[in-house]
Amino acid sequence: MNIRTLSLAKGGHRYVFRYTAGSEEAVMDRIMRLAEDVGYDFDWLDAATLSFQVALLAAAKGEAAGVV
């Protein structure tokens, strides 16, 4: 099983997302929910950046089905 990792350092915090191929929709949902939560210094630009990286990795591996 290939574990993928995305991370973002911002404002003294590190946001780390680990997921496997096929669970792109779930990790993107988690990223979006984090952007909605005002308790974190994680905004929609951060969410868009990480979501784009998820989509790029899926496309590069031929797994783009279901990733928007």
pLDDT grade, residue 3 (50/70/90)? Answer: very high
- The model's pTM: 0.81
Quote the mean pLDDT of the chain: 89
Mean pLDDT of 6-34: 95
pLDDT grade, residue 60 (50/70/90)? Answer: confident
3-state SS track over the chain:
CCEEEEEEEECCEEEEEEEECCCHHHHHHHHHHHHHCCCCCCCHHHHHHHHHHHHHHHHHCCCCCCCC
